[in-house]
Amino acid sequence: MAQIERANMSDYLPGDPTPRDKIAQMIRVDHAGEYGATRIYAGQLAVLGRGAKGPTLQHMLAQEQAHLARFKELIASRRVRPTALLPLWHLAGYALGAATALLGERAAMACTVAVEEAIDAHYMAQSQRLGDDEAELRDVIETFRAEELEHRDTALANDAEKAPGYRLMSAAIKAGCRVAIAVSEKV
Ligand SMILES: [Fe+2]
Ligand SMILES: [Fe+2]
């Protein structure tokens, strides 16, 4: 952090995001994403919670709740404004989870693969942008990224790719994730 605050401010035009703004954007969007993830699994559990995949979904939800809790702490300790779109992600995440679950267990798993692949790319890009002065944040992101990849692997092991319309659904969900990420950094 100290290193970032020492950055030469004359390099920035008025209105340009400073390094500090960029860290705030990262925490804002990651908090939003983990929030959305808990809502997706909540929606899936509402439909499939009593079925054979219930414990698997519950386990992934518990990890997302831990991710969200960590980003809530960072929002507070770094004084980052959360995204104004949390009410939207509250509804959209749940709707995505419930809708895919209604299509069946495999579609629910296909949703997880798509979301986690989008998040993996997002977290990897963030991690690469963070230097040793942000080692703590980078470690959080890398730890969570490893767990998101576990979720993807779990979903693949649960026949995600056998869902009807897998490719189309996957592409649509990934595109949605990328839009959600882009707006949640700023708004
Ligand atoms: Fe997560
Ligand atoms: Fe996840």
The model's pTM is 0.88
Q: What is the pLDDT of residues 105-163, one digit of tens each?
A: 999 999 999 999 999 999 999 999 999 999 999 999 999 999 999 999 999 999 999 99
Cα 97 to middle of ligand 2, angstroms: 13
Which ligand has its closest atom nearest to the C-alpha of 111?
2
Residue 10 confidence class, pLDDT cut points 50, 70, 90: low
Cα 168 to middle of ligand 1, angstroms: 23
Closest to 115 in 3D by CA, of 177, 61, 160: 177
Inter-CA distances, 182 with 25, 26, 141, 185, Å: 10, 11, 18, 6
Which ligand has its closest atom nearest to the C-alpha of 118?
2
